[in-house]
Homo-oligomer: A and B are copies of this chain.
Amino acid sequence: MFTAELPGLTAETERVLGIAQAGLTRVIRIFDDELRSDMPEVGALVSLVERYRGKMLRPILTLVVGLASQADASSRQSLDALREEHYVSAAVIEMVHMATLVHDDVLDEADVRRRGPTINRLHGNEPAVILGDLLIASAYHLCSRLPSPEAARMVARASVVTATGELLQLHHRGDFDLSEPTYSRIIAGKTAELIATASELGAWATGAPSTVCSGARAFGLAIGSAFQIQDDILDLLGDQALVGKSVGKDFEKGKLTLPAIRRLAGFGSSRGAERGAFLALLERATRDEDGRSRAELARDLVESGAVASARRRASEWISEAKDSLGVFEPSPARSALEVMADAVLSRHS
């Protein structure tokens, strides 16, 4: 459940999230129906995907934006206002997201996801790559059920940008000179774009005017960037048991994230000994076998204030996200979006 953990909930916003939660059962039914296979060999593998299901941030976002973007005030609080387009696009986005998770776990050589073994860990990389491909194809198959190709165009565009962001990240692997603007482009691509599209599709399915669709998109883009910064901080500081997936993978894979980028920027143009010592520590952390160097690095990044600085950047994104909600009329659904935005910062898993 998404609602139980959120700070700043009022009875009204909780009601809206409850409506979205109820709508989610229909999303899940559409999702499962699409993936049903008559081959037992395939069905067994596909059923593993269910275990990957998390808080379902993206489909909930589609549904809540679907409510918030209604022209009529009473529709903003009624499940009846949501149309087939909302449910199908929410399921499509979740399926594309799942495919990304399955492929990411192969790329990251991750062993744990949602407190269970990953598909690559259980069955090897080959079925995991193909299962990801199957999920992507199923997502577009589902999407083609909608009468216009518009949703497919948006989802495909988002997936192109996601892959581009991931390629950019790979290109900068092991690059300790990675700049903050390039890091921002990477996370906007690999994470924020799909969340932005989940949000935009909610308004699109409502048939909202283009300013509202753009505002919804901007909201998703901003919370998406905050989400990834928080994810990177959890990878750095999180406890695997709490986070529920493999942690410490970023440094192992030579990915520089915001705390380290800000720490390095803090040295300014100085090429002094302190900077040299930090770079040496970074180097050790990427080759770390027993986790000791990574723990030392994490301590350095907390004590130097670099983690706090990264957290501030995430907060700024959340403020930006809330500003873009101005395109919606005030309503409990819009307040629910604010609550969801805040929840991005307070999450621990």
**A interface residues with partner B (beta carbon < 8 Å):** 37, 39, 41-42, 45, 99, 103, 106-107, 125-127, 129-134, 136-138, 140-141, 143-150, 152-153, 155-157, 159-160, 162-164, 166-168, 170-171
Contact = CB atoms under 8 A, between A and B. Distances in A.
Contacts of A41: 167-168, 171
The secondary-structure label for the interface of chain A is: helix
A107 B134 contact: no
A190 to B, nearest CB: 10
Nearest to A100: B133
Contacts of A130: 103, 107, 163, 166-167, 170
B149 A143 contact: yes
Contact of A133 (B39, B45, B103, B141): B103
Given A107-B126, A127-B170, A157-B141, A134 B164 contact: yes
A106 B106 CA distance: 12
Contacts of A148: 149
A146 B144 contact: no
Nearest to A44: B171
A133 B107 CA distance: 13
Contact of A156 (B140, B153, B157): B140
A104 to B, nearest CB: 9
